[in-house]
Amino acid sequence: MTFRPEHDLHKRRFSRNLGLGLTLAAFVALVFALTVVKVQRGEPMQGFDHTYSPAMLPKEEKTP
């Protein structure tokens, strides 16, 4: 049983797929790192759900 030599098209396609895979992996790592940093900082994670939320209102300044 012999294998046929790999065509040039397959070599080029593999390099493109490898580049795209590495780019996708870098994007996933970036999103993961940003998520970890946001969680570690302890900022409140509130979403906008079209309801009244007192925590999202600006704080009023008291005038003397």
- E strand or H helix that includes residue 50: none
Cβ atoms 36, 27 nearer than 8 A: no
pTM: 0.57
Instruction: List, in order, residues 6 or more apart from 51 with CB less than 8 Å away.
Output: none
Residue 7: its pLDDT value, please?
81
Length of the chain: 64
Instruction: List, in order, residues 6 or more apart from 22 with CB less than 8 Å away.
Output: none
Residue 26: its pLDDT value, please?
98
Query: How does pLDDT run along the chain (64 residues), one tens digit per residue?
Result: 677 878 888 888 998 999 999 999 999 999 999 989 888 887 666 666 777 777 767 777 766 6
Residue 64: its pLDDT value, please?
62
